[in-house]
């Protein structure tokens, strides 16, 4: 069961995180969505067509773990990605997805390593993100991506959707937001450094910091 207090706290945290990401330019227009898994196993998500800058606590959607709409406004059409991450990662209690500029830019490069889209340029990236598989392009809301997303999420808490943006699960919404911000900053560094000789962390240095993700 989910107590009213737990759910009300989750609603407050979703809106607080949404505002913080939006006001700092990490998402724009009506892009990006956040979700939290409640104690009863249902998901609270930002609804379709809403802006993270203006969504309110009483405007969140609820679905089950299959992504089926239970109550509230219609959920984001990217709900299937959130649901896939929660099914694949029983310890994940929150998922963040953004179309943040630099991560989206990296997702459009033609020389990205699909097994790991960004080098471990900094220790904090290695700690909070680690390995970042690139999932192939699918049109927004195309749920044929769901089986691959779920399979990949079993071994990775973060993925980058090609020509789109990142999806990250965390043990809390704050942890998922921290990780997605770290990813965005590393994508920015990566693009700033293109054409320069760079020295990312060695595989050993990165492995020593690898995240223990939920
Ligand atoms: Zn999206």
Domains observed in the chain: 4-209 (3.40.225.10)
In the predicted model, is pLDDT for residue 2 greater than 80?
A: no
Instruction: State mean pLDDT over 89-107.
Output: 97
Ligand 1 centre to CA of 100 (Å) is: 10
Instruction: State mean pLDDT over 64-87.
Output: 96
Task: Give the span between the Cα atoms of 208 and 109, in whole angstroms.
Answer: 28
Cβ atoms 92, 146 nearer than 8 A: no
137 is catalytic: no
Q: Quote the longest CA-to-CA distance of the chain.
A: 54
pLDDT band at 1 (very low <50, low <70, confident <90, very high): low
124 is catalytic: yes
pLDDT band at 5 (very low <50, low <70, confident <90, very high): confident
In the predicted model, is pLDDT for residue 142 greater than 90?
A: yes
pLDDT of residue 140: 87
In the predicted model, is pLDDT for residue 119 greater than 60?
A: yes
Ligand 1 centre to CA of 81 (Å) is: 9
pLDDT band at 133 (very low <50, low <70, confident <90, very high): very high
Q: 145-173 pLDDT, tens per residue? A: 999 999 999 999 999 999 999 999 999 99
Residue entry with tokens 């029983």: 90
Instruction: State mean pLDDT over 170-187.
Output: 97
Catalytic residue among 78, 150, 182, 184: 78
Q: What residues pair up with 95 in beta bridges, in sequence order?
A: 35, 169
Q: Supply the mean pLDDT for the chain.
A: 95
pLDDT of residue 212: 79
Q: 108: left (phi > 0), else alpha (psi -120 to 50), else beta? A: alpha
Q: What residues pair up with 169 in beta bridges, in sequence order?
A: 95
Task: Give the span between the Cα atoms of 80 and 102, in whole angstroms.
Answer: 24
Cβ atoms 51, 29 nearer than 8 A: yes
Instruction: State mean pLDDT over 121-137.
Output: 96
114 CA to centre of own chain:
17
Q: What residues pair up with 35 in beta bridges, in sequence order?
A: 45, 95
Catalytic residue among 124, 146, 174, 185: 124
Task: Report pTM.
Answer: 0.95
Ligand 1 centre to CA of 196 (Å) is: 31
71 CA to centre of own chain:
23
pLDDT band at 211 (very low <50, low <70, confident <90, very high): confident
- CA of 38: how far to CAs of 2, 60, 94, 175, in Å? 6, 13, 9, 16
Ligand 1 centre to CA of 47 (Å) is: 13
Q: 13-45 pLDDT, tens per residue? A: 999 999 999 999 999 999 999 999 999 999 999
Cβ atoms 44, 73 nearer than 8 A: no
Ligand 1 centre to CA of 163 (Å) is: 10
């Amino acid at each position: 069961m989910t107590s009213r207090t737990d759910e009300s706290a989750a609603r407050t945290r979703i809106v607080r995180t949404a505002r913080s990401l939006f006001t700092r330019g990490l998402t724009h227009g009506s892009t990006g969505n956040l979700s939290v898994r409640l104690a009863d196993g249902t998901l609270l998500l930002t609804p379709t067509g809403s802006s993270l800058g203006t969504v309110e606590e009483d405007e969140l959607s609820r679905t089950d773990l299959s992504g089926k709409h239970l109550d509230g406004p219609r959920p984001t059409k990217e709900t299937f990605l959130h649901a896939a991450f929660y099914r694949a990662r029983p310890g994940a209690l929150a998922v963040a997805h953004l179309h943040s500029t630099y991560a989206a830019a990296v997702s459009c490069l033609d020389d990205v390593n699909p097994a790991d889209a960004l080098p471990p340029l900094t220790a904090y990236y290695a700690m909070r993100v680690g390995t970042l598989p690139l999932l192939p392009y699918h049109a927004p809301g195309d749920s044929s991506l769901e089986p691959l997303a779920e399979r990949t999420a079993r071994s990775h808490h973060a993925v980058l959707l090609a020509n789109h943006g990142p999806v990250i699960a965390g043990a809390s919404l704050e942890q998922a937001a921290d990780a997605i911000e770290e990813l965005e900053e590393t994508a920015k560094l990566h693009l700033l450094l293109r054409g320069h000789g760079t020295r990312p962390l060695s595989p050993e240095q990165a492995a020593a910091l690898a995240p223990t993700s939920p």
